[in-house]
Amino acid sequence: MSVLTRLEKRLKEKAKPRLEERLTLRLDPATHSALEALAREHGMTLSELAREALTGGVPS
């Protein structure tokens, strides 16, 4: 086993699993439309806009 293979194996063993959560929101039609328009304005989908907002990367 090469040094790189061993190193890669060791790093994978120590890597923390990526946490993923799913969030579902119900929005009234006016809010949904407004957020969709904002997302389109920035070339994003509504899901991408929400993800950016939740991770602190809100488009300017």
Predicted confidence band at 1 (pLDDT cuts at 50, 70, 90)?
low
Q: How far is CA 47 from CA 6, 11, 14, 60, in A?
A: 39, 32, 31, 17
15-52 pLDDT, tens digit each: 777 667 777 889 999 999 999 999 999 999 998 998 88
pTM (predicted TM-score): 0.56
Q: What is the CA radius of gyration of the chain?
A: 19
Which residue has 């119900």 as its token pair? Answer: 26
Predicted confidence band at 58 (pLDDT cuts at 50, 70, 90)?
low
Q: Has residue 59 got a pLDDT over 70?
A: no
Tell me the C-alpha distance between 23 and 39, whole Å: 18
More confident residue, 27 or 4: 27
